[in-house]
Amino acid sequence: MLNSVCLIGHLGADPEIRRTSEGKLIANFRIATTEKWKDRNTGEARERTEWHSIVVFSEGLAGVVEKYLKKGSKVYVQGKLQTRKWEDKDNVTRYTTEVVLNGFDAKLVMLDSASSGRPPAASPEDYGQESRPSRASSGNTGGGSQPKDSFDKDLDDEIPFIVANFEYIQS
pLDDT band with cut points at 50, 70 and 90 for residue 126: low
**Residue 160 DSSP SS3:** coil
In a domain, 115, yes or no: yes
| CATH code for the domain of 110 | 2.40.50.140
Instruction: Return the pLDDT at 112.
Output: 86
Instruction: Return the pLDDT at 12.
Output: 96
Per-residue burial over 82-116, b if 16 or more Cβ lie within 10 Å, else e, is eeeeeeeeeeeeeeeebbbbbeeebebeeebeeee
- Residue 74 burial class via C-beta count within 10 angstroms: exposed 0-12, middle 13-18, buried 19 and up: buried
In a domain, 156, yes or no: no
Q: Using the predicted structure, report yes or no on whether residue 140 has a pLDDT greater than 70.
A: no
Per-residue DSSP letter, 33: E
Q: Using the predicted structure, report yes or no on whether residue 32 has a pLDDT greater than 50.
A: yes
In a domain, 138, yes or no: no
Q: Which residues contact 93 (CB under 8 A, 6 or more apart)?
A: 85, 86, 87
Instruction: Return the pLDDT at 139.
Output: 41
Domain count for the chain, please give it: 1
By the 8 A CB rule, do 5 and 78 touch? yes
By the 8 A CB rule, do 47 and 36 touch? yes
In a domain, 66, yes or no: yes
Q: Using the predicted structure, report yes or no on whether residue 72 has a pLDDT greater than 60.
A: yes
Mean pLDDT of the region 123-135: 46
Instruction: Return the pLDDT at 73.
Output: 95
Cα 78 versus chain centre, distance: 11
Residue 160 and residue 20: Cα distance in Å, rounded? 33
- Domain residues for 88? 5-129
In a domain, 72, yes or no: yes
- H or E element at residue 37: strand 25-38
Instruction: Return the pLDDT at 114.
Output: 59
pLDDT band with cut points at 50, 70 and 90 for residue 162: very low
**What pLDDT digit, counting tens, does each position of 78-101 carry?**
999 999 999 999 999 999 999 999
Question: What average pLDDT does the structure give for the chain?
Answer: 78
In a domain, 145, yes or no: no
In a domain, 107, yes or no: yes
Instruction: Return the pLDDT at 125.
Output: 52
In a domain, 155, yes or no: no
Per-residue DSSP letter, 73: -
Lowest mean pLDDT among 102-106, 119-123, 133-137: 133-137
